[in-house]
Amino acid sequence: MILKAESVGRRFFRKRNGSNFFYAVQDVALTLRSGQLVALFGRSGSGKSTLLNMLSGLLAPSDGCVLLDNTNLYQMEDGALSQFRNEHFGVIPQGQAALQSLTVLENVLLPCTLFHDSTPQTEARAMALLEQTGIGDLRDVRPSELSGGEMRRMAIARSLIRNPDVILADEPTADLDDENTKVVLKLLKTVAEQGKIVFIATHDKDTFDYADAVYHMDAGKIKKEE
């Protein structure tokens, strides 16, 4: 499976340097293949999250296109694209994102319940993922009771519940201590080795030790690190 960004750019309307808009991402060409863990490194505001959002089908590019194999994401209707994202993409967002009215287990199962696909098997898989991320004992706890690191691990488990082809992670180790950083990166590496595409935007240089390739992003442009 190949996730490809072809001359992708994203323009935002904002006054900057005498212009009414600026490019958060500019003319990015990127090819991600199954079985690879690829890291994207860059400063804050360099365009990493914007690129991840475009790759996941959440933000339509101003220029270029995004293809998963030969499917052009942004040529689909919203309903079809949403279902496509549910089936093929696991997204780990920045910050703490969860439904406060659901328990940790229910949040992990959310991609399944949304499509009425919550079965004893998916529940067992959710429990296994919670155990792997080290928060199995917190299954019945509400998100408001979790620490930042625990919330992040819950988001990782949620991104993997549908066994998606592509994992897009935005700072997945941001709130984690060294030990848990290693656990999460090992888990994502294992997922990549199982034939998935794993793409991580990060500040954390520890990620490089697990990455098959590292890209550097600056002012919306991407460059492969040699």
Return residues touching another protein (CB under 8 A): 24, 44-50, 53, 56, 58-59, 78-79, 81-83, 85-87, 91, 93-95, 97-102, 106, 110-111, 113-116, 118, 142, 158, 170-171, 203
H-type helices in 114-163, by residue range? Answer: 120-132, 148-160
Give me the least distance between CB of 62 and another protein, in Å please.
Answer: 13
For another protein, the closer of residues 33 and 94 by Cβ is 94
For another protein, the closer of residues 93 and 134 by Cβ is 93
Q: How far is CA 70 from CA 4, 34, 67, in A?
A: 9, 14, 6
For another protein, the closer of residues 33 and 65 by Cβ is 65
Give me the least distance between CB of 216 and another protein, in Å please.
Answer: 15
Give me the least distance between CB of 21 and another protein, in Å please.
Answer: 15
For another protein, the closer of residues 36 and 82 by Cβ is 82
- Smallest CA-to-CA distance from 47 within 33, 61, 31, 65 is with 61
- Smallest CA-to-CA distance from 52 within 159, 195, 206, 179 is with 159
- Smallest CA-to-CA distance from 30 within 176, 215, 173 is with 215
